[in-house]
Amino acid sequence: MPLEVNEKIVIPDENGEEHLFEVLYTFDVDDTKQHYIAVIPVDQSEDEQVDLYAFRYEESADDNDLSLFPIDSDEEWEIVEETLNTLIDEDELS
């Protein structure tokens, strides 16, 4: 089952502490043939600047497990950032 916008997911940090995030966008990038997800922490207050996190992801064959991977290269990040900016601009216009 694919990830849905507004779905809540738990992501552990480097210390193993789990944090709840809301899915803002999921998208594929043709250049990299990869799947990406953009999330924000659920516990941020409305007054704070929103921290947006992006990851490359893979779903298991049975779609029950999700593996997240950091975006390591500047080139990959530029592609993801450009796509995210386009998605955000489209949301602001609608």
Q: What percent of the chain has pLDDT over 90?
A: 51
CA 85 – CA 4 distance, rounded (Å): 19
In the three-class reduction of DSSP (H, G, I as helix; E, B as strand; rest coil), residue 75 is classed as helix
How would DSSP label each residue in 38-51? EEEETT--TTSPPP
**8 vs 62, residue with greater confidence:** 8
Q: Is the pLDDT assigned to residue 15 strictly greater than 60? A: yes
Mean pLDDT of the chain: 86
Report pLDDT digits (tens) over 44-84.
766 667 788 999 999 887 767 889 999 989 999 999 999 99
Is position 2 within any domain? no
Range of the domain at 53: 8-93
Is position 31 within any domain? yes
State the pLDDT at residue 45. Answer: 60
Is position 56 within any domain? yes
State the pLDDT at residue 29. Answer: 85
**15 vs 44, residue with greater confidence:** 15
Is position 73 within any domain? yes
Is position 3 within any domain? no
Tokens of 35: 């799947």
Is position 59 within any domain? yes
Cα 49 to Cα 2, 5, 45, 65, 88, distances in angstroms: 28, 20, 9, 30, 15
**For the whole prediction, is pTM greater than 0.85?**
no
Dihedrals φ, ψ of 79, to 5°?
-65, -45
Q: Count of domains in the chain?
A: 1
